[in-house]
Amino acid sequence: MELSEKKAINGKQLKVTFNKTVEEDSVIESNGTLVDGAFKLEKVAATSPAVALDSAEAVLSEDGRTLTITYTGAEYANGDYVFSVVKNKVQTTNKATVEYIPAYTSSTINVKDTVAPTLESTAKINATQYKLTFSKPVSGLGSISAKYADGTDLGATATVSSAPASADADNNAIIVTLANTTVNKDVNVQIVGITDYNGNIVSPNPVTFTTNAGAKDGVAPTFTVTPESASTLTVKFSEEVQAFPKAAFKIDGTALTASDKVVQDETDKTKYTVKLATPLTSGFHNIAVAATSFKDLSGEDNTAHASTIQIKADQVAPVLSSSKVVKERDGKEYLYVTFDKDVQLDALNGALTGLTGKSVKNYVTDKAVTFNTAAFTSVDGSKKEYKLDLASITTGAGATALENGVTYTIDLPASAVKTLTGTPSVAQTGAITFTKGTDSAITPLAVAEVKTNQASLTTGAAGKDATLANNQVTVEFSQIVDGASATKAANYTIDGAVVKSAELGTDKKTVTLTLEDGKTPYSGARYLTINNVTTASGVALEEAFKKAITLNENIAPTVTGAVIKSVDNSTKVATVELSFSEAISTADLDTLAVYVDGQVDAGVTVANLAATTSKTLTVNITLDDVSKLTNKTVTLKANGTDNTIVDAAGNTASIGTVTVK
């Protein structure tokens, strides 16, 4: 699995696209922010503002492949950054095996947000509020002013204010609120100087629109609560409300927390599902919401609410329905167990000893085996599926390790788990059956050495290979690598250069990167990043590799002109000045061929006068008859390999064909 794209939408947002569907719980926490430690966004320059991804808001697309990240608060990106995905954090939705996106580090992402936000839509959302949606997140709300449409002032008590629509998943909207304005009388609103987080002013500026405050409908909104389970409640309002009163919604005197999820129904906007992080116990529970905690769309406040719900005990004991062994990416085998319903761990929440069972080895069954286990843990937050490192299971009083190739059966004890309302499971004979395999001693792939024709920034001359050209880099891996992934040029990125090809050496560990000619415009340090290269057995890099290397620029000098400066008939020498695109130094030019009107002139000798570090080079051409140059077209052509001109970085310019004027 790979990350297929990442790009900054603007200074406030980053979009990450995966090539497979990812598990939402592995990228987004219950409070809507990114999972801590799953991603990094590191600034390259000290002057760039820092961005903390752990607290950034995130939204995963319906297809589970595009993650839109919005930086928290006033944070925004401006400058060069490197984006990373941490190993064994982002998981696919593939349930057949445990699959993570490999560790990944991007090349440098340049964020230069100079695009002004634009107003995309306006919509009246209730009797007193108007929603303005922009093309990107906005920060500075500008200066707001308003008058009635007939030109009269609003009056001393009437106001129009704006605030961020923080409930919006895209953070691209603001809410304009009318207070104490005359009902059903149009108000012209003008907002000057709305800006995004990088200070770009909205275009066009100012933003203007007309709205009015509608009358309240005179009917207070109400709601009912129906428990679906010990951890799920359905809240049904009598009409649409402006927002769910999460902070005011109390169960037994305690308000909902950030870990509790509230989801509005996609089709019935009056219905919400409340998913509690901690299940309620069986019995009666009090629901309370204070008066004026929420409003309907007309602006009518609710009255105080008090009701009682009953969580009925789930009297049906949970059953362990299946078990399997899964080898995860760390090379270890894990025992996965699945129950027929959501459960809470009871006895399985801690270490157990003396569990009964049996083993089958070489067709011989031993029915007197006892087992010891460590605590089980949830699989990605599931309440139905739990796992245990198979190596933590031992047998007998001496805690003997399990044998490879032996089939084991473990009886599940009573009260191993319990329903969300506390009904314990009963004992299950032969509940868990598995065959012990072999843990793989996985040694992650690493990069042992990177060399260019320049001294290494870390090891100095020891990291230099003078035989390499300016357009070559060698990468030596710690193990034999998979040829297909190692020779994929797209798996290597170098800032300020373009990798044209990757060739695997005969040792199957060393890869020679060839860079595009003329695409490395400067000499100096830059980052080499390597992703998605694996060993021959498919083991990936422990983390995406990133190292600063030094390259010479590889822009070859070109001849921009050639002029005859003088002709000496006595010495039969013509002095020609060659002009180049950049400062050059010279090598031998004594095998240049001289053509007069397209015909080679034999017996000609060419010599450069002196070495140079300028953009011009003077050469002397000796002919048997310099009068041949009069009113003729003179052409110089390279003739052999000795005609070399190089710049300060050693890039060779081919003379090619030069017409002398």
Here the tokens at position 490 are 């797209």
Quote the CA–CA distance of 281 and 231 in Å, as a whole number: 9
Q: What is the pLDDT of residues 342-367, one digit of tens each?
A: 999 999 999 999 999 999 999 999 99
> What confidence score (pLDDT) does residue 140 get?
75
In DSSP notation, 19-86 reads SS-B-GGGTB-TTSBBPTTSEEEEESSTTSPP--GGG-EEEE-TTS-EEEEE--TT----EEEEEEE-
Beta strands in 470-551 (DSSP E): 472-477, 492-494, 499-504, 510-515, 524-530, 545-551
Architecture of domain 119-211: Sandwich (2.60)
Is a pLDDT exceeding 50 seen at residue 335?
Answer: yes
- In a 13 Å sphere around the CA of 192, the CA atoms on its Cβ side amount to 3
Is a pLDDT exceeding 70 seen at residue 629?
Answer: no
User: For all residues of the chain together, what is the average pLDDT?
Assistant: 85
CB–CB of 69/13 below 8 Å? yes
Fold exhibited by the domain 447-551: Immunoglobulin-like (2.60.40)
Is a pLDDT exceeding 70 seen at residue 661?
Answer: no
Quote the CA–CA distance of 377 and 349 in Å, as a whole number: 8
Is a pLDDT exceeding 70 seen at residue 246?
Answer: yes
CB–CB of 527/494 below 8 Å? yes
Is a pLDDT exceeding 70 seen at residue 494?
Answer: yes
Q: Which residues of 454-464 are buried (b: 16+ CB within 10 A; e: fewer)?
A: bebeeeeeebb
CB–CB of 263/206 below 8 Å? no
At position 344, the amino acid (one-letter code) is Q
Please give the backbone phi and psi of residue 318, each rounded to the nearest 5 degrees, phi first.
-70, 155
The percent of residues above 90 in pLDDT, for the chain, comes to 36
Q: How confident is the model at residue 168 (pLDDT cuts 50, 70, 90)?
A: very low
Mean pLDDT for 611-630 is: 72
336 beta partners: 324, 387
DSSP 117: P
Tokens 């109400």: give the residue: 222
Here the tokens at position 489 are 């040029």
Quote the CA–CA distance of 540 and 102 in Å, as a whole number: 7
CB–CB of 600/623 below 8 Å? no
Q: Is 115 exposed, middle or buried (0-12, 13-18, 19+ CB in 10 A)?
A: middle
Sheet holding 271-275, edge to edge: 223-229, 232-237, 271-275, 261-264
Query: Does 589 or 196 have the greater pLDDT score?
Result: 196
List the chain domain ranges: 3-111, 119-211, 223-311, 320-435, 447-551, 559-660
Would you report the helix, strand and coil content of the chain in percent, each value rounded to 5? 5, 45, 50
Quote the CA–CA distance of 598 and 588 in Å, as a whole number: 24
- Tell me the C-alpha to C-alpha distance, in Å, between residue 629 and each of 510, 606, 616, 635: 55, 15, 22, 10
* Most confident of the ranges 330-344, 373-387, 505-519, 599-613: 505-519
Here the tokens at position 366 are 């031993």
CB–CB of 12/70 below 8 Å? yes
- If you count them, how many residues does the chain have? 661
Query: Does 221 or 609 have the greater pLDDT score?
Result: 221
Task: Using DSSP, state whether 331 is helix, strand or coil.
Answer: coil
Here the tokens at position 348 are 């399985």
Task: Using DSSP, state whether 321 is helix, strand or coil.
Answer: strand
Architecture of domain 3-111: Sandwich (2.60)
Q: How confident is the model at residue 60 (pLDDT cuts 50, 70, 90)?
A: very high
Please give the backbone phi and psi of residue 647, each rounded to the nearest 5 degrees, phi first.
-90, -175
Rounded to the nearest angstrom, the gap between the alpha carbon of residue 137 and the centroid of all alpha carbons in its chain is 19
Q: How many CB atoms lie within 10 A of CB 208?
A: 12
Quote the CA–CA distance of 62 and 381 in Å, as a whole number: 20
Q: What is the pLDDT of residues 26-49, one digit of tens each?
A: 898 877 889 888 899 988 877 888
Quote the CA–CA distance of 584 and 616 in Å, as a whole number: 8
CATH class of 223-311: mainly beta
* Most confident of the ranges 435-439, 608-612, 624-628, 644-648: 435-439
Tokens 């959302």: give the residue: 125
Instruction: Name the helix (H) or strand (E) containing 315.
Output: none
> What confidence score (pLDDT) does residue 167 get?
45
Quote the CA–CA distance of 602 and 623 in Å, as a whole number: 9
> What confidence score (pLDDT) does residue 311 get?
93
40 beta partners: 84
Here the tokens at position 660 are 């002398």
Quote the CA–CA distance of 608 and 596 in Å, as a whole number: 20
Common-topology check for domains 3-111 and 559-660: yes
Here the tokens at position 358 are 């049996």
Choosing among 2.40.440, 2.60.11, 2.60.40, 2.40.128, the CATH entry for 559-660 is 2.60.40
Query: Does 645 or 487 have the greater pLDDT score?
Result: 487
CB–CB of 545/447 below 8 Å? yes
Q: What is the dihedral sign for C-alpha 36, 41, 45, 48?
A: negative
Q: How confident is the model at residue 169 (pLDDT cuts 50, 70, 90)?
A: very low
Q: What is the dihedral sign for C-alpha 418, 422, 427, 428?
A: negative
Here the tokens at position 548 are 């600063």
Instruction: Name the helix (H) or strand (E) containing 214.
Output: none
